[in-house]
């Protein structure tokens, strides 16, 4: 096994291939991607709770932050 330095291509194109790796006593489960070892935790309803911050999530957050910052500075200028 070589060390993983690049994102695995199938995950980038097709999404992760999650497989249940752990089941917790509170009925939540840990899913691990068989390709790139990304881990997500499901809640007791089986919904994904992403444990890792993906690039797109980070981008969205930064865009939102940028938008808010601009709105705030705009308000300051016009008041």
Contact positions vs Zn ion (CB under 5 A)? 11, 16, 33, 35-36, 38
Length of the chain: 79
Q: Residue 11 or residue 40: which is nearer to Zn ion going by CB? A: 11
List for the chain the helix, strand, coil content (%; round to 5).
40, 25, 40
CB of 37 to Zn ion, least distance (A): 7
Q: Residue 36 or residue 41: which is nearer to Zn ion going by CB? A: 36
Q: Residue 4 or residue 67: which is nearer to Zn ion going by CB? A: 4
Find out whether 47 and 41 touch, Cβ atoms under 8 Å.
Answer: no
77 token code pair: 């200028």
CB of 50 to Zn ion, least distance (A): 12
CA distance 36 to 45: 25
CB of 22 to Zn ion, least distance (A): 17
């Amino acid at each position: 096994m070589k060390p993983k330095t690049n994102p695995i291509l199938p995950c980038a194109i097709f999404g992760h291939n999650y497989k249940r790796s752990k089941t917790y006593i509170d009925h939540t489960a840990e899913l691990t991607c068989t390709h790139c070892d990304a881990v997500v935790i499901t809640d007791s309803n089986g919904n994904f709770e992403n444990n890792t911050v993906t690039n797109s999530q980070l981008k969205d957050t930064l865009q939102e932050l940028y938008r808010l910052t601009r709105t705030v500075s705009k308000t300051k200028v016009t008041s």
